[in-house]
Chains A and B, each alone.
Chain A
């Protein structure tokens, strides 16, 4: 057996998504929130739109870094969580590859992207394909907007094949090769060593 994404997703979406008596949602070793996708998308769009042409790279790098650091630290929390141990670990038979597949299943269950690993060269390269992701709902013509998928993918690969946590951040970089928001049929993301 290997990690079966849809089975993991179905098991995880049945977990209660609701703040506790303190209005907080501790889970996966982090504090979870559950917000409209429009919040994250509009923020990225408006920040990019507000930037002068010469400042746009700085803004895009900042958005990438937010998603990368989130993916790295949250990803670490996820793969060491009780939820991951209960649902994903029983399916893990192929070591780091399966941990990665499991991490992407959680990525999918959280609503980030209906995504999966299509190719892994261990410690070198990974290709991710997403049939749907919330960042595709952005409306900036010609802008690659899937910061969470590209940076999150790179960060997950950092966790799998970089130096032990927390020293491996930024070992790999994720790039968006195809994007639904760009007019492509699906999103495709490649992770390579920086």
Chain B
């Protein structure tokens, strides 16, 4: 499946938008360092801030996309959410789930692979961004408010596993 992904370029501000949401290109250097910064800010719950920020920002884009493209069923929303993840350069995943939660396999990962390129293998889970993304994707698919799903990694490419495994559980 190849989903439509139209980027508009504003000739005046030079900004990119997707269905009215302002977008920007960055790379694995910024994502990895942002992740590391969040981890170093333990005293202010930096990782929680990173996950919740990913959930909130990605929810806005997912909702805008689903509305504009008329993606309405839960199954379609999970599937298109998975595709959007790939279109934005974040990796490749398989998703199984329902409103109680689900399981996600990461076959490729911008966050994990980018981390390893810069810092080498990690001793802990680092894909906080994707946990936030999946919380948004499941909540949007099942019409739930933010923070409705607890999302955590059980296997990580950044830690040397061949694939990432992420569990999603309804709270």
Contacts and interface: CB of A to CB of B under 8 A. Distances in A.
Nearest to A28: B27
A111 B23 contact: yes
A112 B30 CA distance: 13
B27 A32 contact: yes
B72 interface: no
Interface in A70-124: 70, 73-74, 77, 108-112, 114
B163 interface: no
Contacts of A33: 25-28, 31, 88-90, 110
A31 B37 contact: no
Nearest to B43: A55
Interface stretch (B56-64, B97-105, B137-145, B146-154): B56-64
Contact of A38 (B29, B60, B87): B60
Nearest to A152: B30
Main secondary structure, interface of B, reads helix
A24 B44 contact: no
B40 interface: yes
Interface residues of A, number: 50
Contacts of A47: 37-38, 41, 44, 46, 49
Interface string A55-73: 1000100110111011001
A35 interface: yes
Interface string B6-44: 010100011110000111111111110110011011011
Contact of B49 (A43, A66, A114): A43
A67 B54 CA distance: 18
Interface of B: 5, 7, 9, 13-16, 21-31, 33-34, 37-38, 40-41, 43-46, 49-50, 52-54, 56-58, 60-61, 85-93, 107-108, 110, 113-114, 117
Which 8 pairs of residues, A with B, have the shortest CB-CB distance? A23-B86, A25-B89, A39-B57, A23-B92, A30-B27, A70-B30, A110-B25, A111-B24
Interface of A: 9, 13, 17-19, 22-25, 28, 30-40, 42-43, 46-47, 50-52, 55, 59, 62-63, 65-67, 69-70, 73-74, 77, 108-112, 114, 131-132, 134, 137
19 contacts: A18-B5, A19-B90, A24-B89, A31-B110, A35-B58, A38-B21, A46-B52, A47-B44, A62-B37, A66-B34, A67-B30, A70-B26, A70-B29, A70-B33, A110-B24, A111-B14, A111-B16, A111-B22, A114-B13
